[in-house]
Amino acid sequence: MKLVGVSCNLGVSLKQSVHKVNDNYIKALEKAGCAVVVIPQVDDKIIHGIVDHLDGIVLTGGDDVDPALYQEEKSNYVKKTDVNRDRYEMTILKYAVKRKLPVLGICRGCQLINVYFGGSLYQDNRLCPSNTLKHRTPSNKPATMHNIVVRNDSFLDDILGEVAVVNSYHHQSVHKLGKDLMKIALSNDGIVEGIQHKVLPIVGLQFHPEKNCEEDHKMQMIFDKWVKEL
């Protein structure tokens, strides 16, 4: 059985540090047929040792990536950032790239992949000249849904076809594309909804397939295909 590591958020509960990850990721990956471990936010050498035993990595959603990582000043559009999580996930990516491990980045994970390879982000989707759709879902509201157009011969093509409907929870998105990355999905207003590395087995999705696996079998198929290719 393949072993997949998922990144997590480090929070505080009852004055103690708590490593947290949404259970939807774990359920989708287990249903796809792999075992899952949460990669803790620990010393770089320990992270290296953990990654050495993994068959693949999922970078999960979370806070905004610090604009300093793509050489920009933080604007008033930026919400909560976590420099420790940035460092931790950039370290995971560094070791994954070195080993040529498959990586699936979701939402923040997609954005972090782009930044790792030298790309930048729109600090808010309102800064994207083509943006006309609502991409941010308030926490107390049903998910915003919109169409995406999928690139032919991409990771998503044989699952979603040319056009698909996905959820949307993000206020930031890919701006300048990172080195050796290509766009594999766009919303109708031009916002990047998926990226893929041209050589390495690395895919980033701006939407959250794990949230819709129960209602939409195609979202589960994304995890099924990714795990099958490990």
The arithmetic mean of pLDDT across residues 88-92, rounded, is 98
pLDDT at residue 160 in the model: 98
Q: Name the band, by pLDDT with cuts 50, 70 and 90, for residue 143.
A: confident
> Can you list the alpha helix ranges (DSSP code H) found in 34-180?
44-51, 83-99, 108-116, 157-160
pLDDT at residue 117 in the model: 98
pLDDT at residue 99 in the model: 97
Q: Name the band, by pLDDT with cuts 50, 70 and 90, for residue 142.
A: confident
208 catalytic, yes or no?
A: yes
| Count of CB atoms situated within 10 Å of the CB of 176 | 12
The arithmetic mean of pLDDT across residues 68-89, rounded, is 97
The arithmetic mean of pLDDT across residues 87-100, rounded, is 98
Q: Which of 8, 128, 197, 210 is catalytic?
A: 210
Amino acid letter for position 105: G
**Residues 166-185: tens digit of each pLDDT:** 999 999 999 999 999 999 99
The arithmetic mean of pLDDT across residues 57-79, rounded, is 97
CA distance 84 to 81: 9
Q: Domains of the chain (ranges plus CATH)? A: 3-228 (3.40.50.880)
Cβ–Cβ under 8 Å, residues 213 and 31: yes
73 catalytic, yes or no?
A: no
Closest CA to 143 of 152, 154, 134, 156: 134
pLDDT at residue 221 in the model: 98
**Residues 12-50: tens digit of each pLDDT:** 777 788 999 999 999 999 999 999 999 999 999 999 999
Q: Which of 34, 107, 128, 213 is catalytic?
A: 107
Closest CA to 19 of 39, 48, 46: 39
Q: Is 218 exposed, middle or buried (0-12, 13-18, 19+ CB in 10 A)?
A: middle
CA distance 29 to 134: 29
Mean pLDDT of the chain: 95
> Can you list the alpha helix ranges (DSSP code H) found in 61-209?
83-99, 108-116, 157-160
pLDDT at residue 132 in the model: 82
**Residues 117-133: tens digit of each pLDDT:** 999 999 999 999 988 87
CA distance 74 to 93: 23
CA distance 127 to 140: 25
CA distance 162 to 200: 23
CA distance 110 to 7: 13
pLDDT at residue 140 in the model: 65
Q: Which of 135, 170, 197, 208 is catalytic?
A: 208
